[in-house]
Chains A and B, each alone.
Chain A
Amino acid sequence: MCQITSQNDVIPKEDCRLRYPYLSIIKSVGKSCMKCQEPATVVARLHDPFCRNCFLVYFTHRFRATFGKSKAVRNGEKVLIAFSGGHSSCTMLHLVKEGLAEGVHKKLRYQPGVVYVDENVCLEQDKEERSAQMRKIETWLKESTFPSYVTCIEEVMSKCSPGYRLISGDQSHDSEDGHDNPPTENSMKEEFKQLLENTSSLTTKEDLIQKLRLKLLKQIAKQLGYTKIMFGDSGTRLATVLLGNLAKGHGETVHQDMSFLDTRGEEVAIIRPMREFTSKEIALFSHQCCLQPVFIPRISTKASRLASIDTLTEDFVNGLQSNFPATVTTVLKTGAKLTSDEETIGKRHTCVLCQSPVDSSSSASSASAATQYSMSLRKSSTVYSSSSSEPEAACEVARDNASCCGEGDESCQSAKKNEELTSADLSVVMCYGCQVMMRDVKSLDRLPSSVLADVQRQKRRDEMRLEIEDFLLDGSEEG
């Protein structure tokens, strides 16, 4: 592989081939490229050998064709690229840079920017390693020649807009708005750490980090005037996400988590151009172009198979894919055929964490109704009376009206102040999947203030709506 001669230098692609000329003449015994019949060097999918040049052309063409087919990005649009330093991100950034280079025949010209989210607060690394990683990241950002920003995940806890740093030229200087003072950063770091510590399972930690990262990116994109964010999730990763989200209860919006264009949320949309490629193809491309991804460990790196739902699902998909090579494509195709329940979508609240519509369990027989019934049975006595099959509610408040706080052990919380978030509130402001996730978080008040503010705002809107309900005509939509 390529070597770094000085600390901040990366050998460009052309020199790489001079240094390692064998890269272009590796032969795969007995196979010739399916396009040009030269000796093949890679086998991208089963039975598809390619020589190096044809593979690069094929890969680049697929990347651009995905944009063209979907017509999601318009000319001159500002698109923010979310860069994580991994193989997929580096490949995507490289392809974007090549595609927009001068002299390339291309109709679509958009304006990219790059952003990197520093997640050191989740898994503390030692200072030297961390600064080495940051230097490599900043090298990537500078080499891209696009406007680049670095932000930290704990900025999502900020009470006003999140802060970031602009990377330009040889030096990086802080942004003028937002926070640039270390003291405020430390308190947000502490808050974020508290939130993670209050979460009991790794699954929920990973989910929270992922959702909060997305929230942060959307806030920053909005601040900087970008209308779209580009993520580098590979097809394999998206198949894992689909199955994992099914298992977490996010069934209704699972198709948006893996579609090319994800329009949840008001102003900023998400695009995923790398969804056409499996992780194997991306790794091959990255190797052929001598790209140098930066490895940064996360909380689930080297975790055991049963550590979290995501690690288990990843293991499952990779195992199946090796025996049944059509698995990833089939799963993605199935996901692409799904949609949301269009009739009720305008009338439902939006989940404060993931911006999906909150589920309404309107059908008579449903899993959520069954779960609620099981929960309600816990609080009833075992003395079976043949007259009633419904368990008596233990609390007077619950018998009178529907606003039972759900405690059930005679510590009635209904009289608590309106500002505190109770688990009963969650069923109104969060989708089923996020509610399941929140069961692992001990105190809901540790969530970022922007999330809590959204909850309160929704509650106030509901009260407003209740007052004017009689005068609303059919067809008025939820804001």
Chain B
Amino acid sequence: MPVACRMCGGPAVLKRPKTGDAVCKDCFFYAFENEVNYTITNGNLFKRGDRVAVGASGGKDSTVLAYILKLLNERHDYGIELILLSVDEGITGYRDDSLETVKRNQHQYDLPLKIVSYEDLYGWTMDAIVKQIGLKNNCTFCGVFRRQALDRGAMLLKANKIATGHNADDIAETVLMNVLRGDIARLRRCTAITTGAEGGLPRCKPLKYTYEKEIVMYAYFKKLDYFSTECIYSPNAYRGHARTYLKDLERIRPSSIIDLIHSGESLSIKKDVKMPVQGTCTRCGYISSNAICKACTLLEGLNKGLPKLAIGKSNKSRRLLDAASQSSDSTNENTPPKEKKKDVTF
């Protein structure tokens, strides 16, 4: 006996992970699209006339994001301009394939596309970086560089907003990770739907309350094509622990993901806790909470052969930088610094 759709009574074809209801395809599309529209309008994410750079990696989140933003823009007349922005980290076997998907998206959705690469911006690809620093702590490099790359790419496109495809699972994982690592400053900011409005371009997350499983379902039923392999360096990431925990939580109680986001949003920090102050980097002008931004510090370390430069305690990195800049006047005497083997706390 076929199960009836909860909303319209017709035959149901799927069960929504978010609410547990059995619904038919059209009702699912209706619910999904309306929820994203509600998030956008309630959070005031876009204004008429915005030029929005959509972070497109070729994966499921960004494919669905591009599709749905285009759809809702036309249907509800947001009045925004959409451009696809893609970052090439230089990871063979992973990024070149996903970039093909992005190029296909460009044709399918008829949106302009810009690709920026680490090679052009920094002179290093991720493969070269991993060769130098090994398999641990490389996510730090990739993440820091990507953030700057997105901002620089968006500025080249003269966009005034960036939209990324972070979904509810990502945000819940981030809350968990920040608690586990004791990063109180990030903990406060990570659940905001729009971040970075002060310096640099504001970036928003229209898919913030959509479950990852529902995004896959939407793409599947709408026959959207995407590239679905994990980054080849991801098995060693600390985030993997938080992700496994979250997946198991979802099995026990599906609403845990939203509950976790709710918890993250309700956190307040004590007034006497020291928080980083925002300034600008003295070398590149990007926003930074120290004198030199993280990307410049990491690059410095890579270029001077001190790969662990910005990994670990910050005063150590300053000492090393000073020592390195002094010894750089003489010939290459680069002795790699002695660091304690630390598995945790970047």
Contacts and interface: CB of A to CB of B under 8 A. Distances in A.
* A complexed with B: yes
A322 to B, nearest CB: 12
A104 interface: no
B273 A436 contact: no
Contacts of B262: 249, 251, 359, 366-368, 432
Contacts of A432: 259, 262, 266
Interface stretch (A77-85, A164-172, A378-386): A378-386
Interface of A: 201, 203, 242-243, 245-252, 254, 305-306, 308-309, 312-313, 316, 319-320, 323-324, 326-327, 330-331, 333-335, 337-342, 359, 363-371, 373-375, 377-382, 384, 386, 389, 391, 432-433, 436, 439
B106 interface: no
5 contacts: A251-B263, A327-B344, A339-B269, A364-B43, A432-B266
A248 B256 contact: yes
Given A246-B175, A312-B249, A389 B37 contact: yes
Closest 10 pairs (CB-CB, A-B): A251-B263, A249-B259, A365-B43, A367-B262, A252-B266, A251-B266, A370-B209, A382-B8, A330-B182, A367-B261
A386 B34 CA distance: 12
Contacts of B252: 201, 203, 306, 308-309, 312
Contact of B179 (A331, A340, A433): A331
Contacts of B184: 334, 337
A377 B260 CA distance: 22
Interface in B243-302: 245, 248-249, 251-253, 255-256, 258-271, 273
A201 B258 CA distance: 18
A320 B253 contact: no
Majority-rule SS of B interface residues? helix
B76 interface: yes
Q: How large is the interface on B (under 10, 10 to 19, 20 to 34, 35 or more residues)?
A: 35 or more
B234 interface: no
Nearest to A373: B38
Given A309-B256, A436-B255, A382 B182 contact: no
A140 to B, nearest CB: 35
B7 interface: yes
Contacts of A201: 252-253
Contacts of B187: 334
B35 interface: yes
Contacts of B27: 382
B273 A370 contact: no
B180 interface: yes
B259 A433 contact: yes
B342 to A, nearest CB: 10
Nearest to A252: B266
B269 A367 contact: no
A436 B263 CA distance: 12
B269 A374 contact: no
Interface stretch (B18-26, B56-64, B137-145, B326-334): B18-26
A323 B268 contact: no
Contacts of A375: 19
B147 interface: no
A295 B64 CA distance: 53
A331 B259 CA distance: 19
B181 interface: yes
Nearest to B10: A382
